[in-house]
Amino acid sequence: MSPPGIAPAPPPLDLPHAPEVRRILVMKWSALGDVALASAAFEDIRGAFPRAALDLNILRPWDRLFAHDPRFERVLAPEVRDRGHPLRGTLSWLAQVRRGRYDLIIDLQSSDHSRLLLVLLWLTGGAPRYRIGHHRVFPYNIAPAPAAKPRHALDLMRAALAAGGIEARAPRPVLHVPPRNRGRVQRLLAEHGVAQGRYAVFLPGCQARGYLKRWGARRYVALGLELRELGIPHVLLLGAADEAEECREIRRCCGDFVVDLCGRTEVLDLPPLCEGARFVVANDTGTAHVGAAAGRPMVVVCGPTDPCRVRPAGPSVRALQAPIYCAGCYRKDCSHHSCMMLVSPGQVIAELRRLRALDG
């Protein structure tokens, strides 16, 4: 048995019309923002194969986002990154994937690790006929031509799908929110006297180790106070444990019109909370990609990361970044943080006006 050759990028295959493709596994492991962004690609795959059995391979805890997703028959979440028991995770993954008897595997992770698992699957005789990846290397036999420059993460996924004849149709993330999350959102809004369409959402945090991506409590305070003067009755602060201190400071400085829901929501509460908002202002953080599923006007402040690569997907999303020499440096520490401090609340408001988010 010899490795199959790599299929050329042009012309693409037409897998959606291949009758032998009946069972499909999609691989996208982490992290929160990447998984939420990939949900647009999931929607395109489901649309291209409406009658195929579609399974998802993802890592915990993000499997909870798709536990009730009607697009997938099964969600596989073996601990493939368990450093204490790497062999156990690998064997579990191989066993579960072999049981699936897939005709097509679409690896949207396309990391060295996911590629290694697919090589092991091929070596043990369990690899399907079709294997899509981002790069034209073994074990993928369907992949796009190499990109000439850094591209947006969703564009990379779409290019891989296009090599198999799968069209890009979903303009933004698509997350299926269970009724229990929508019910909790309604109760939270009622509890704080917040009316649909009469509030803004701030996502002012990010993971603590990525603190350079934070615009800062002081600037969110200034933005909130200006929005209050412009007639926005409420601002909701959303985040997790790492963002709690940032949210408390914003609430303390702004007063009662700011509602701090940090730590009181689940990830799947974010789309319905953002659906009812006039607009969303966020840092480059995973929750911004989740919030983008709502399709509301969104302004994302970027500094050390490149907005051309990380901006949430959607026609009503705009990214702001200071035009300085070191913007997009991807550093983890910095002595001046100018890339974020040079973006003013006035610039955010001007972008919201261009999006017509302050009209009405």
pLDDT tens column, 216-266:
999 999 999 999 999 999 999 999 888 899 999 999 999 999 999 999 999
In sequence order, the 6+-apart residues with CB closer than 8 A to the CB of 163 are 7, 9, 12, 13, 132, 142, 143, 144
Q: Is the pLDDT of residue 7 over 90?
A: no
| Whether residues 100 and 230 fall in one domain | no
Total structural domains within the chain = 2
| Whether residues 105 and 239 fall in one domain | no
| Whether residues 189 and 333 fall in one domain | yes
- Please write the tens of the pLDDT for every residue from 280-306: 999 999 999 999 999 999 999 998 888
pLDDT confidence bin for 3, thresholds 50/70/90 = low
- In this structure, what DSSP letter does residue 200 have? E
Q: What is the pTM of this model?
A: 0.93
For range 161-187, the mean pLDDT: 97
| Whether residues 349 and 218 fall in one domain | yes
Q: What are the Cα distances from residue 299, in Å, to 139, 214, 256, 286?
A: 39, 14, 24, 14
Assigned token pair, 204:
């002012």
**CA nearest to 202, candidates 258, 149, 267:** 258
Q: Looking at 163, 198, 223, which one is the last position of a domain? A: 163
> Given this model, what pLDDT does residue 2 score?
43
For range 7-26, the mean pLDDT: 83
Strands 199-203 and 234-237: parallel
| Whether residues 216 and 133 fall in one domain | no
For range 110-138, the mean pLDDT: 96
> Given this model, what pLDDT does residue 360 score?
64
| Whether residues 261 and 135 fall in one domain | no
| Whether residues 147 and 216 fall in one domain | no
Helix, strand, coil percentages, rounded to 5, for the chain:
40, 15, 45
Instruction: Print the domain residue range for 321.
Output: 184-354
Looking at the domain assignment, is residue 7 inside a domain? Answer: no
pLDDT confidence bin for 348, thresholds 50/70/90 = very high
| Whether residues 293 and 152 fall in one domain | no
Going 299 to 304 to 308 to 309, the CA torsion angle's sign is negative
Rounded to whole angstroms, the Cα distance separating 295 from 287 reads 14
> Given this model, what pLDDT does residue 337 score?
77
Assigned token pair, 359:
């009209």
Looking at the domain assignment, is residue 64 inside a domain? Answer: yes
pLDDT confidence bin for 195, thresholds 50/70/90 = very high
Looking at the domain assignment, is residue 227 inside a domain? Answer: yes
> Given this model, what pLDDT does residue 39 score?
98
Going 120 to 121 to 125 to 130, the CA torsion angle's sign is negative
Place of tokens 């034209």: 136
Looking at the domain assignment, is residue 169 inside a domain? Answer: no
Report the chain's mean pLDDT, rounded to a whole number: 92
Preceding omega of 139 cis (within 30 degrees of 0)? yes
Q: Is the pLDDT of residue 149 over 80?
A: no
| Whether residues 148 and 277 fall in one domain | no
Place of tokens 């929005």: 227
**Phi, psi for residue 105 in degrees, rounded to 5:** -120, 130
129 versus 150: the higher-pLDDT residue is 129
Q: Is the pLDDT of residue 171 over 70?
A: yes
> Given this model, what pLDDT does residue 204 score?
95
| Whether residues 237 and 303 fall in one domain | yes
Cβ atoms within 10 Å of 242's Cβ, excluding its own: 17
| Whether residues 219 and 349 fall in one domain | yes
**Phi, psi for residue 130 in degrees, rounded to 5:** -115, 135
Q: Looking at 134, 163, 192, which one is the last position of a domain? A: 163
Looking at the domain assignment, is residue 124 inside a domain? Answer: yes
Q: Is the pLDDT of residue 5 over 60?
A: no
For range 84-94, the mean pLDDT: 91
- Please write the tens of the pLDDT for every residue from 303-347: 888 899 999 999 999 999 988 878 778 787 876 778 888 999 999
| Whether residues 295 and 156 fall in one domain | no
Q: What is the DSSP string of 255-302?
A: -TTEEE-TTS--GGGHHHHHHTSSEEEEESSHHHHHHGGG---EEEE-
pLDDT confidence bin for 8, thresholds 50/70/90 = very low
Looking at the domain assignment, is residue 1 inside a domain? Answer: no
**CA nearest to 328, candidates 356, 353, 304, 357:** 304
